[in-house]
Amino acid sequence: MSGQATTRGRTVPTQTTKSTYWQGVRDGAPFILVIVPFSLLFGVVATEAGLNMLETMSFSVLVIAGAAQFTALQLLTDGAPTLIALVSALAVNLRMAMYSASLTPWIGEATLGQRAVAAYFTVDQSYACAITAFERNPGWSITQRLAYFFGVVTPICPLWYLFTFIGALVGTSIPQGLALDFALPITFLAMIGPMLRTPAHVLAALISVVTALVFAFLPYNLGLLVAGVVGMMTGAQAELWLEQRKAARQ
Amino acid sequence: MNIETADLWFVIIGLGLGSFGLRFVFTGLVGNRPLPPWLLRHLRYTAVAVLPGLVAPLVVWPAATGDSLDAPRMAAALVTLAAGYFLRNVIAAIVLGGVTLYGGLALLG
């Protein structure tokens, strides 16, 4: 392919499908630094919780979403009813529906099979890279977009499986007294920090914390579900309110 | 506490199917039809509404210390959150939180 395409005032050569694939690989590669410790930790924590290799690997292969996996595992270890563990973990993954909605205009023309495979591999990192690249290169064909998407996935998802496996292998050999009980809260807190992008996000998180503590007396960890619903409504309302205030100022 | 095998598989398979469903619902089924803005607005806050609520009781009442407030764990939690917020780097936040936790446990524990 030859010719020039203009993006954001820059002139870049029109890319081939192969080159968008490799661009995806390059954009996904830095996330290896995030994926490896996360999946390793999941393997270790799951093994500590008494899961065998098949169970631990099934989690990582079928669910392929760290925060939801950790949520389900934590609630099951706490003795929460299975349905509550499932619903809470799915709530953590609700953002995937948002990613799906956001990707639809870009990859909606792909075949059903391709969309199904892309859906399986829709994770935080592949979504974040893809949406940025698609918006920056509106001229890409559907084939080039899919190539880019699967390029991003290539260095990420296989390592997610591999390091869950390694974590599960070494899990039982990690000595007690390492305060591993707190590995999980620290992991979650570290993930929450960068998510607090706007005042609405901060407020939603704050109200969620307060609600969860106030309703901690509720049985079956229902306090978390209350906190989730109240937190979402808080964020949505705060966003509306901030927008209205901004509009009123202009 | 041991997790019942049947319960565990129920959650693994349910979460696997459910997560795929959430990822596929729009790309696969909705197609190019637009979504109501109020729904998207709520979906944007799911992660920040659920994760802090999940972690708060674990920080305030850690099981390892018999559900009582614990200085090293609380300090580690605050450092991790602050590091994640200001550095926007998950791994750096985990490392700093871990250092705070072990430092605190060594000093006080």
The domain ranges of chain B are: 53-108
* Percentage helix, strand, coil for chain B under 3-state DSSP, each rounded to 5: 80, 0, 20
Cα atoms found within 13 Å of the Cα of residue B68, Cβ hemisphere only? 2
- Residues of chain B contacting A196 with CB distance shorter than 8 Å: 48, 85
Residue A62's pLDDT is 96
- Number of Cβ within 10 Å of residue A1's Cβ equals 9
Q: How far is A54 from chain B (nearest CA, A)?
A: 11
Chain A from 160 to 219: CB within 8 A of any B CB: 179, 181-182, 184-196, 200-201, 204-209, 211-213, 216
Domain boundaries, chain A: 4-195, 197-250
pLDDT tens by residue, B44-89: 888 788 889 989 998 999 877 777 888 999 999 999 999 999 998 8
Interchain CB distance below 8 Å, A101 and B8: no
CA distance linking residue B41 with residue A56, whole number of Å: 34
Contacts of B53 in chain A (CB under 8 A): 208-209, 211-212, 223-224, 227-228, 231
Q: Which residues pair with A34 in a beta bridge?
A: none
In this prediction, residue A59 has a pLDDT band, given cuts at 50, 70 and 90, of very high
Question: Rounded to an integer, what distance in angstroms lies between the CA atom of residue A118 and that of residue A152?
Answer: 11
Q: What is the pLDDT of residues A162-191, one digit of tens each?
A: 999 999 999 877 766 666 678 778 888 988
Q: Please list, residue by residue across B6-26, b when 16 or more beta carbons sit within 10 angstroms of its beta carbon and e when fewer do.
A: ebbeebbebbbebbbbbbbbb
Inform me whether the pLDDT recorded for A8 exceeds 60: no
Residues of A in contact with B80 (CB under 8 A): 186, 189-190, 193
pTM: 0.73
The answer to whether A103 contacts chain B (CB < 8 Å) is yes
Q: In Å, how far are A68, A79, A214 from A85, measured between CA atoms?
A: 10, 9, 20
pLDDT digits (tens, 9 = 90+) for A104-132: 888 988 999 999 999 999 998 898 889 88
Select from A34, A97, A234 the Cβ nearest to the Cβ of B91. A34
Q: Residue A203 burial (CB < 10 Å; 0-12/13-18/19+)?
A: buried
Residues in chain B with CB shorter than 8 Å from the CB of A115 are 24, 27-28
Write out pLDDT tens, residues A64-102.
Answer: 998 899 989 989 988 889 999 999 899 888 878 878 887
